[in-house]
Structure 1
Amino acid sequence: MATEDTVSSNPNHGEKRPKVVVITGPTGSGKSRLAVDLASHFPVEVINADSMQVYSGLDVLTNKIPISEQNGVPHHLLGTVSPTVEFTAKTFRDSAIPIIDAILARNHLPVIVGGTNYYIQALVSQFLLDESMDDMNDSCCLGDLPGVMWSDNSFIAESDSSNDFNYDLLKDIDPIAANRIHPNNHRKINQYISLYARTGVLPSKVFQGEAAEKWGQVDNLRYDCCFICVDASLPVLDRYVEQRVDCMMDAGLLNEVYDIYNLNADYSRGLRQAIGVREFEPLLRTFVLKDIYEREKELTGGSTIEKRETLSNGNLMEWLRSYSDAKSMILMEEAIEKVKVNTRRLVRRQKRMLNRLQMLFGWNIHSVDSTESISSKSDDVWKGQVVESSMKIVNSFLSENGSMSSTCSMSNDTGMKIVQRDLWTQYTCKACGDRVLRGLHEWEQHRQGRGHRKRISSLKRKSQGLNFYETEAGAF
């Protein structure tokens, strides 16, 4: 069902694929800065691949690189999308491909920059599994499908009534597909149910066959890719992102969030998905801002627009601190801490995803370490250890006879053997509170994790010698 793309830049067999550079890595590692610095040595044009930076607005919160720091380097898909639009991976791919074509036509080097790895995977892969849901014939009548006795609209309406019901329904319809996704991934669950409702085809059947086998594999990528990962040690990144959140607060992050605040906002769509929006909702719901509104109403004559414009001229965080309301201060400090915690979690998810792309799909990702440059805040260290290393990688990649003429190695830089792809099997770790892991790679990573090993050790001690063992179904 998932078919090969016919979009522009789809390479033909036997033809050279266009060369693109992909700079990825966890948030805070220095990806955007590196892309701009590389433009001093190569004719670079940047395509943003950050799922929140594509939206206009919240420039402080999403940490968009300011125009003053872009140094005249063209940046595409940066702050160009309406914040109310759902900009999916498929939309990103379809938007980015013509831009890459135009950059190549100018004999410039396309550099994809961002930490949203599913955007990057959708762009460089010739196959996008989930697009089959959009490509299915919506006119298909369920009454024409054997065994389906309800109408399309009533089925979907019923399935939307309860998230728990949705997942149970998917398990009944297609347990294989249900095992592939997390029970809390409500959007994906609804997509799978909708796919079955419209077509009568099991989702797990859609994502099988030649397309699924080829999806994401290096020898079937749309482009000849040079993957560079700017990375740093977790302790250094943790400290850096925490400091960055504090700087964002001083720069007016709370004002940005307040300006788009809506009591009935949908935090699962558009720009409001960004870390740093939902976390402040309890604060923005308090009587403190209601009182601010009343005071501003007295000063301005009362319109909501005037209220928001007046507040945005000053730093709302400083105003709240001077207001000295204990409840609001507690809520604000809790929100700031949640933003920091969720950002640290994002860093770990991004690192896991990059490992997954390397281990499961064979992406030859060249890691450049920015740990020392972040710790020392030294421009010289940044240039010597990050920029120069990246220049050598790109130079070799662009060279016809260079050692990187093909980035489609089936092993990573450490020579580690690629783990056989196992994306469907669900593993449950009993020792870690029935935590669900998907795929052999994620399961193996979890087993080797410090937290899991500590729990197993603790359980062994409590059991007074009973043998605890791990199986494919879970850790006991």
Structure 2
Amino acid sequence: MDIFGPIRPKEKVVIVMGATGRGKSRLSIDLATQFPAEIINSDKMQVYKGLDIVTNKVTEEECCGVRHHLLGIIGPDQEFTATNFCDKALLAIKQTVGQGQIPIIAEGSNSYIEALVDEYDANFNLKYECCFLWLDVSMPILHTFLANRVDKMVQSGIVEDALKFFDPSRNYSRGIRRAIGVPEFDWYFRTREFVDEETHAKMLQQAIQEIKDNTCKLACRQVEKIHRLRNIKGWKEREKEADEAWKKLVVRPSAALVNQFLYRRVVSTSNVSSKATASAIAPAIMAAASC
């Protein structure tokens, strides 16, 4: 007889990681439409209300009916620490699991994830089994994508969005005003009444370029943080699973296209279509791990 009773299985939690612009939102929503799941936002800026364009929040249409937690719930001037995130994330996880759904933690802050998994609650790893999905892509490709994304944000109204949070006191160290895309416009907003139209247009382009540069720098820091978590924290990848993902998502579609190109054959495989392959090659899941 087991005097301690049966061992209760751990609840499952999926964590999607990767630098900004790598497709974490899209992957988490795609997963949540295939599994009974809800998404818990871990982006430091998207947790705030406002600046939907600047912070690149998913739209209602993009959510595809998937419920999102911790998205736009905090006032713009409030501080939201890693401890605050852990408090709310654990409640969201408990609620999601209680409804028979799988929690998918996705978006930006690796420091929030580190605090939740390793630091905040000593019993977290006793209660939950985590599957980490790391989305990776080469930095040159990512930088091009990020630059194009900023251009699209400009077309969508990022200037008007940022103007709502312009701070004449130049205090961009608290709350949502820390977001990339707000302080970069400061000088542009200050001088709009004092310079000619041509000069003002040049200042706008300078601000946009600064947003692109700072976004790329953020992506580099985030990649370095993920490598640190893997190497120091011991969040090791399962080499066999990562290798299988590489073969399925990258090698097979690529080989099929090359075969078609060389021999003009019609590709017949359940794993690839010529339309989908291009989007499958660039962002690949490089590691799947469990803590």
Contact 1:23 1:112 in 2 (8 A): yes
Determine whether 1:283 maps to 2:155. no
SS in 2 for 1:363: coil
Tell me the residue number matched to 2:256: none
Aligned letter for 2:154? M
Specify which structure has the bigger relative contact order, considering alpha-carbon pairs within 8 angstroms and separated by 6 or more residues.
2
Contact 1:58 1:257 in 2 (8 A): yes
Name 1:107's counterpart in structure 2.
100
Equivalent runs, 1:27-106 vs 2, <5 Å = 27-106=20-99
CA distance in 1, matches of 2:56, 2:250: 20
Match of 1:232? 137
Q: Distance in 1 between matches of 2:22 and 2:157?
A: 22
1:294 corresponds to which residue? none
The 8 Å contact of residues 89 and 119 in structure 1, kept in 2 or not, is answered as yes
Q: TM-score, normalised by structure 1?
A: 0.49
Change in 2 beyond 3 A, CA 1:107/1:364 = farther
Over residues 26-49 of structure 1, what are the superposed CA-to-partner deviations in whole Å (9 max), with x where a residue is unaligned? 111100000111123210100001
Pair 1:248-2:153 in alignment = yes
Spell out the pairing of 1:254-269 with structure 2 (5 A cutoff).
Answer: 254-269=159-174
Classify 1:26/1:371 alpha carbon distance in 2 versus 1 (closer, same or farther; 3 Å): farther
In structure 2, distance between residues paired with 1:87 and 1:253: 23
Counterpart Cα distance in 2 of 1:251 and 1:371: 33
After TM superposition, give the deviation of residue 125 of structure 1 in Å.
2.1
- Aligned identity (percent) is 38
Looking at structure 1, the residues matched to 175 and 278 of structure 2 have their Cα atoms a distance apart, in angstroms, of 34
Normalising by structure 2, what TM-score? 0.79
- What amino acid does structure 2 have at the position aligned with 1:381? T
Separation in structure 2 between the aligned mates of residue 62 and residue 371 of structure 1, nearest angstrom: 30
Q: Is residue 380 of structure 1 aligned with residue 276 of structure 2?
A: yes
Asked if 1 retains the 8 angstrom alpha-carbon contact of 2:250 and 2:284, the reply is no
Alpha-carbon distance between aligned partners in 1 of 2:182 and 2:172, rounded to the nearest angstrom? 8
Contact map agreement 2:39 2:68 (CA 8 A) in 1: yes
2:111 and 2:9 map into 1 onto residues whose CA distance is 25
1:118 has 2:111 as partner: yes
Runs of at least 5 residues in structure 2 that lack an aligned partner in the other structure: 1-6, 254-273
The answer to whether the Cα contact below 8 Å between 2:147 and 2:212 also exists between their aligned partners in 1 is yes
CA offsets per residue over residues 256-313 of structure 1, 9 Å max, x none? 1111112014211110010111111011111x2479xxxxxxxxxxxxxxxxxxxxxx
1:420-460, Cα deviation, whole Å (9 max, x unpaired): xxxxxxxxxxxxxxxxxxxxxxxxxxxxxxxxxxxxxxxxx
Any residues of structure 2 matched to 1:264-413 within 5 Å, and which? Answer: 264-286=169-191, 288-289=192-193, 325-365=197-237, 380-381=276-277, 407-408=290-291
Q: Distance in 2 between matches of 1:384 and 1:327?
A: 43
**How many residues end up aligned between the 2 structures?**
257
Report what 2:258 is aligned to. Answer: none
Report whether the alignment pairs 1:223 with 2:216.
Answer: no
Which ranges in structure 1 are unaligned for 5 or more consecutive residues? 1-13, 129-213, 292-323, 394-403, 409-476
| Structure ID, larger Rg | 1
Is the Cα–Cα contact under 8 Å of residues 229 and 365 in structure 1 kept in the other structure?
Answer: no
Runs of 4+ deviating beyond 6 Å: 366-373, 386-390
Offset at residue 126 of structure 1 (A) = 4.4
Whether contact under 8 Å (1:19, 1:224) holds in the other structure is yes
Change (3 A) 1:263 1:67: same
Change over 3 Å in CA distance of 1:330–1:226 after alignment to 2: same
Residue in structure 1 matched with residue 267 of structure 2 by the alignment: none
